[in-house]
Amino acid sequence: MIPPLWLALTTALSLQARHSDFWERKQNTFHLKLDQGATMEVEFITPSTFRVRRGLAGPARQPIADSMLRVDASATPAGVQFDTDDLILHVTRRDGLVAVRLPSSIGLYSETAAKVQQGKSLLEVTARPGEKFFGLGARPQPVADARGLALKTETPFFVSDRGYALWMGTPAPFEFDMAKSKAGAVRIVGSGLERLEYYFAFGPSLKEIWEERLKVEGAIPDPAPRDLEMILGPRLPRGASRLPAFGLAGQDLLCSDARALVHASLSGILLPAFDLARYKGAEIDVFRRAAHLGVLAPIFQDSQPLAFEGEKAAVVAEVKAFRKRLNYFLLAYADEARVRGYPIIHPMFHQYPRDLEARDQVDSFLLGDELLVVPVCDGSPRKRVYLPLGIWTNWNTGKEEMGRRFVTVDAPPGGVILFVKNGSILPLGGVSESDPLQLHYYPKSGGEFFLYEPRAVDYSQAHAGPAAGIYRVEMESKINRNYEWVLHHMDKPKSVEQVESGPFAETQTAGPVRPGNWRYDAADRTVHIGIHAPAHSDIIVNLRF
């Protein structure tokens, strides 16, 4: 009688020998020979991300990963299993169907059909009960979840709330049937293709998915500061993407554009561009709302800068000036997009992945981490707004609101409601070129902001928060610059003093505060502090109450 241990070992060795001709490894790419002579490739890019290629027509792709990854391949009765530190991937020998699960055995992804035939590719994936899908391009639908929709898109990228993303690797339009015509199945069809190629990335959070995708796609070019001001003319910076026209006009186009900005960002489009020229024929109220939304888009463009006259020209001048003030803020998030792969617009699902109410919001979004943007595209006088976790300050009224609930808010004249998250520092340029850079801090928790300095290729750091019964603000500046701290929701301090150099002088002079002075505005309960920061200095100021 053969002992059970020897029997198991003998079985495993014979199984390995029987299937050793199934795969061949070259660096991090496994070439698989399926039944009936078909072939496919699986390339591991990171322990969480891989590429699948079926039908090897076309040029070979250069490997993405620089070094060998730990990927263990082992034969199974039906095919081959690949184990990394993060995923377990199984491919069937008969038809190359892929299934992915976590080391904890939780299933993530499972294919039921995959083929390339007569210039068409088909990939069919199981849609599990309750699973939600996000992305698929800058689309106008008023719902976040794409399940139940059939879409044609040239941005074939979607995210599952199970923690993975999938996107096609061939440049072509695709049709996505997201469990609409066949219950429990996502069907992806591409035309005019000789191969089926896609990428799979596991997060589990959306932020981690963006970081994984960056390793595949590479960094976008770093936008110049002038590209983040209002762009006049048809040119866009590299990496920017225009929103579709949707065949609409006026208010209908505006509501579609507002949602398309969110869907674009959920599709990994880092720099969606809003073109104000598309509203040149709109009524002035719609035009004004469009301008105030566009000024908060990652890229704001007027592709026909001579098209506006009269009242519309005045609106353009207003938003153009405000956009310039936002430049410092946007530059920091453009750098984050380049370095980490995060879209500048942070959909609620990006920022609050565990808040089920937040993830379904497409009528609002976060610009960076600090600003909650709520377009009132239909011109309603009031808007029901969902505020996620935290305390939020209404930009227009200064009123504070608790999060994790809906509130009804009056719409401002520009038609865009703005909230700032308390605990944030928001940098804004001055009204004129000679004005200091303002650092708006909203207490009570500590806040920080990293200003990207293109000239220094470094980051100036702003910090603010309570400390042992006082408030402390700190500016570590890499650039020689004047700053004006603006602290909101504050009582008047008894003293304001810079560490190591002594007290600042109180002033009642309106306008920008000169370095070494401070002012208290009782009407809006703000403290203004002027400082001069030489390059590579660290300026700390304490407020005592």
Top-tier CATH class for 19-217: mainly beta
Interatomic CA distance for residues 349 and 330, integer angstroms: 20
CA–CA separation, 179 and 99 (whole Å): 18
- Matching residue, tokens 């040149």: 280
C-alpha 181: how far from its chain's center?
Answer: 30
Helices marked H in 248-371 — which ranges?
Answer: 250-266, 284-294, 310-325, 327-340, 348-351, 356-359
How many angstroms separate the Cα of 18 from the Cα of each of 25, 36, 62, 78, 94? Answer: 17, 16, 31, 12, 14
Token digits for 160? 């599952």
Domains 220-420 and 424-544 share a fold: yes
Cis peptide before 204 (omega within 30 of 0): yes
Q: Where are the alpha helices (DSSP H) in 226-277?
A: 250-266
Q: Write down the pLDDT at residue 190.
A: 94
What CATH number should be reported for the domain whose range is 220-420? 2.60.40.1180
Distance (Å, whole) CA 158 – CA 161: 10
Task: Compute φ and ψ for 284, nearest 5 degrees.
Answer: -60, -35
| Cα Rg of the chain, angstroms | 27
- Contacts of residue 522, Cβ cutoff 8 Å, sequence gap at least 6: 492
CA distance 545 to 525: 14
In the predicted structure, residue 66 carries a pLDDT above the cut 60: yes
Q: What is the pLDDT of residues 344-356, one digit of tens each?
A: 999 999 999 999 9
Q: What confidence score (pLDDT) does residue 289 get? A: 98
> Residue 430: how many CB atoms within 10 A of its CB?
16
Beta bridge partners of 497: 503, 542
| Residues in contact with 10: Cβ distance below 8 Å, sequence separation at least 6, in sequence order | 2
- Whether the CB-CB separation of 56 and 42 falls below 8 Å is answered with no
Q: How far apart are CA 465 and CA 442, in angstroms?
A: 9
pTM of the predicted structure, to 2 decimals: 0.92
Residue indicated by tokens 């000239």: 455
In DSSP terms, which residues pair with 158 in a beta bridge? 135, 166
Of 167-176, 293-302, 373-382, 535-544, the poorest mean pLDDT is in: 167-176
Class of domain 424-544: mainly beta
All structural domains of the chain with their residue ranges: 19-217, 220-420, 424-544
Q: What is the pLDDT of residue 19?
A: 44
Task: Summarize pLDDT for 519-540 with one digit per residue, the tens.
Answer: 999 999 999 999 999 999 999 9
In sequence order, what are the beta bridge partners of 160?
133, 164
- pLDDT tens digits, 398-454: 999 999 999 999 999 999 999 999 999 999 999 888 999 999 999 999 999 999 999
The pLDDT of residue 13 is above 60: no
Helix, strand, coil percentages, rounded to 5, for the chain: 20, 40, 40
Note the pLDDT tens digit of each residue in 30-65. 999 998 788 999 999 999 999 999 986 655 667 787
Distance in angstroms (rounded) separating the CA atoms of residues 35 and 311: 70
pLDDT beyond 90 at 162: yes
Counting beta carbons within 10 angstroms of the beta carbon of residue 181, is it exposed (0 to 12), middle (13 to 18) or buried (19 or more)? exposed
The residue ranges of DSSP E strands in 127-229, in sequence order, are 133-135, 150-153, 157-160, 164-168, 174-178, 185-191, 196-202
CA distance 507 to 495: 12
Q: What is the pLDDT of residues 312-342, one digit of tens each?
A: 999 999 999 999 999 999 999 999 999 999 9
Q: What is the 3-state secondary structure (H, E, C) of 61-110?
A: CCCCCCCCCCCEEEECCCEEEEECCCCEEEEECCCCCEEEECCCCCEEEE
pLDDT digits (tens, 9 = 90+) for 89-138: 999 999 999 999 999 999 999 999 999 888 889 999 999 999 999 999 99
Q: Which amino acid does the sequence have at 428? A: L
Mean pLDDT of the chain: 93
- Looking at the predicted structure, is the pLDDT value of residue 387 above 70? yes
Phi, psi dihedrals of residue 75, rounded to the nearest 5°: -75, 145
Q: What are phi and psi of 130, to 5 degrees?
A: 80, -5
pLDDT, position 400: 97
CA nearest to 164, candidates 140, 193, 198, 137: 198
| Largest CA-CA distance found in the chain, in angstroms, rounded | 99
Which residue, among 190, 325, 350, has the nearest Cα to 270 in the 3D structure? 350
| pLDDT value at residue 59 | 58
